[in-house]
Amino acid sequence: MPEPVRVLVTGAAGQIAYSLLYSIGNGSVFGKDQPIILVLLDITPMMGVLDGVLMELQDCALPLLKEVIATDKEEVAFKDLDVAILVGSMPRREGMERKDLLKANVKIFKCQGAALEKYAKKSVKVIVVGNPANTNCLTASKSAPSIPKENFSCLTRLDHNRAKAQIALKLGVTADDVKNVIIWGNHSSTQYPDVNHAKVKLQGKEVGVYEALKDDSWLKGEFIKTVQQRGADVIKARKLSSAMSAAKAISDHVRDIWFGTPEGEFVSMGVISDGNSYGIPDDLLYSFPVVIKNKTWKFVEGLPINDFSREKMDLTAKELAEEKETAFEFLSSA
């Protein structure tokens, strides 16, 4: 048996974690022969609930779970980590400005970045899920200067999977038949779901999505809006935010970091924009198409960008630059 991988999930008493932990424990993420030490972190008032989660994980009797540690202490949670999945964040309350949300989360992610810096392995892979995910991720990275910034990524895979699913539904194929959709930019309603480079398998051969659908106005209008607003639509219907689909997307994202992306396929991830060839300013945490090999991501290069895409990509970059500026004001005073 290989050495156990030490994995932290924060916000571990919350509903996304509740959907995620079983997938990590049963081998769906790190492989069926990879033992795991699972560390669960939440705030002190949630420790009672977290005990219940711990009991359930024990009761799943999962052979790969070597140890499960539930804690409210950062020095316990962040010690010697191989992977940190930062799900916990301050949720947006009714009547709350995005600025207030940013301020509360800068504080959280500054602390967690500092804890990663102090206690985790320098090779740790950090995945930020808690919103505003891009800026939270950048904040954590800035607070952990000795961990390579390429080791930090944020989740836009849920948006990616939503885009894939919408195309598949429209064409009457399975989501597996659709590949290379892209989410550009921020995990917010300015994100740009782009299918200009996406392919779909129809009757055994691959065709471009635009060619297959022959419905440009849907692709440039309703499709984009549906993906951008999907999170809000789920909340409206369920009175709770997406948890099952978010957990599935986290599993996909982390598994791809661990095992790499399939040949000829790329995925969307929020990563540091330094050195990209798409005219996005450096030092933003922006979602790009990437391929992954040996646990290292690379930008997909050389995709032609039309005027429609350019405008949408710049708009979401502008929002991220503004968020960053606000966050960094707080960061210096936090």
Question: Is 187 an annotated catalytic residue?
Answer: yes
Task: Give residue 49's pLDDT.
Answer: 98
Task: Give residue 331's pLDDT.
Answer: 83
**11 pLDDT above the threshold of 90:** yes
101-136: pLDDT as tens digits: 898 999 999 999 999 999 999 999 999 999 999 999
Of 160, 187, 197, 253, catalytic: 187
Task: Give residue 96's pLDDT.
Answer: 76
Segment 166-181 shows an average pLDDT of 97
Measured CA distances, 32 to 1, 23, 63, 64, 134 (Å): 11, 11, 10, 8, 31
Task: Give residue 165's pLDDT.
Answer: 98
Segment 211-219 shows an average pLDDT of 97
Q: What is the dihedral of CA 42, 44, 49, 54, to 10 degrees?
A: 60
Q: What's the farthest any 2 CA atoms get from each other in the chain?
A: 59
Task: Give residue 334's pLDDT.
Answer: 59
pLDDT band at 26 (very low <50, low <70, confident <90, very high): very high
Strands 83-86 vs 178-179: parallel, antiparallel or unpaired: unpaired
Task: Give residue 148's pLDDT.
Answer: 98
CB 13 within 8 A of CB 50: yes
317-328: pLDDT as tens digits: 999 999 999 999
What secondary structure does DSSP assign to 154-204, as a single string? E--HHHHHHHHHHHHHHHTS-GGGEE--EEEB-SSTT-EEE-TT-EEEETT
pLDDT band at 333 (very low <50, low <70, confident <90, very high): confident
**1 pLDDT above the threshold of 90:** no
Segment 201-221 shows an average pLDDT of 96
